[in-house]
């Protein structure tokens, strides 16, 4: 399959057309950003680590019966994925209180959340990804009611699979965000799942093993990503 012109460049990934209208190339770059792009750095090997990490997670989810856009790894930093109509809403699940939830509600950082908290956010950096609800989504036509329910269902299915995967490797899946799109009339999981878009803590020490190391200037960002990958069995 031939890689063609660039279609989109995000903060950490680029998307390229192919000679097949149903597929695109997802290219993971070394760019790392936080605070809606206000803090940006290049971290060596990040693109490669996240590409392989994402491929492993997507294949794991597919094996559990969850439809994703992932097709195959193409090389160290690129994957072939289905070309979808993306839904401009992020689905967030929080198993443990941290980050913006603590700031917004004043709850204790590290508090276990039972049941997990589910939240929608509009994917819009200029507006700082504001929280929205199902009424906003319906009113502004971002997704149908059926699509919203499917996104929620799939997000919790992902939670069941990945909480166990990380727990078996001695980690806590604190929270994460997912993005979905439409392919062939169906809602399927898109974008990526990597330490860029979730919080992972060591179960014993609660050491941060995710992008918070970059946000908070803790250092060792890629080393933490690689540690997570090796613990769950990703071949780097």
Tens digit of pLDDT for each residue in 131-158?
999 999 999 999 999 999 999 999 999 9
The CATH 3.30.470.20 domain(s) of the chain lie at 85-219
> Over the stretch 52-99, which tens digit does the pLDDT of each residue have?
999 999 999 999 999 999 999 999 999 999 999 999 999 999 999 999
Instruction: Give pLDDT, residue 34.
Output: 86
For 186, residues 6+ apart whose C-beta sits below 8 A from its C-beta are 67
CATH superfamily of 85-219: ATP-grasp fold, B domain (3.30.470.20)
Report whether pLDDT(42) > 90: yes
Q: Cite the beta strand spans of the chain per DSSP E.
A: 3-9, 13-18, 23-28, 31-34, 39-42, 70-73, 78-82, 85-96, 112-122, 131-132, 171-183, 186-189, 198-202
Statement: residue 174 has pLDDT above 90: yes
Selection from 89, 84, 80 nearest residue 183 by Cα: 84
Cα 214 from Cα 212, distance rounded (Å): 5
Q: Where in the chain is the domain with CATH 3.30.200.20?
A: 3-82
Angle between helices 145-168 and 46-63 (to 10 degrees): 110
> What is the reported pLDDT for 35?
83
pLDDT at 37 over 80: no
Mean pLDDT for the stretch of residues 43-55: 98
| Token code pair at residue 216 | 């908070």
β-pair partners for 177? 92
Instruction: Supply the pLDDT for residue 123.
Output: 96
Cα separation, 233 vs 185, in Å, equals 33
- Give the mean pLDDT of 190-216: 97
CATH class of 3-82: alpha beta
pLDDT band at 39 (very low <50, low <70, confident <90, very high): confident
Whether 36 has a pLDDT exceeding 80, the answer reads no
**pTM of the shown model:** 0.96
- Pairwise CA distance, residues 199 & 163, whole Å: 12
Which pLDDT tens digit goes with each residue over 189-200? 999 999 999 999
């Amino acid at each position: 399959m031939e890689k063609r012109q660039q279609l989109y460049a995000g903060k950490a990934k680029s998307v390229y057309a192919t000679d097949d209208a149903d597929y695109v190339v997802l290219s993971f770059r070394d760019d790392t950003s936080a605070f809606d792009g206000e803090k940006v750095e290049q971290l060596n090997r990040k693109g490669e680590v996240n590409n392989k990490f994402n491929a492993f997670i997507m294949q794991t989810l597919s094996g559990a019966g969850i439809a994703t856009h992932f097709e195959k790894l193409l090389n160290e930093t690129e994957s072939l994925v289905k070309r979808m109509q993306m839904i401009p809403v992020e689905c967030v699940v929080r198993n443990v209180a941290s980050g913006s939830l603590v700031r917004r509600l004043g709850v204790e950082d590290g508090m276990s959340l039972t049941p997990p908290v589910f939240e929608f956010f509009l994917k819009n950096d200029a507006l700082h990804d504001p929280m929205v609800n199902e009424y906003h989504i319906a009113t502004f036509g971002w997704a149908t009611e059926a699509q919203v329910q499917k996104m929620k269902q799939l997000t919790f299915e992902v939670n069941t699979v990945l909480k166990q995967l990380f727990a078996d490797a001695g980690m806590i899946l604190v929270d994460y965000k997912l993005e979905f799109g439409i392919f062939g009339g169906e809602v399927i999981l898109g974008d990526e799942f990597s330490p860029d878009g979730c919080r992972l803590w060591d179960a014993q020490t609660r050491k941060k093993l995710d992008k918070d190391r970059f946000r908070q200037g803790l250092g060792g960002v890629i080393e933490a990503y690689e540690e997570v990958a090796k613990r769950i069995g990703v071949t780097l």
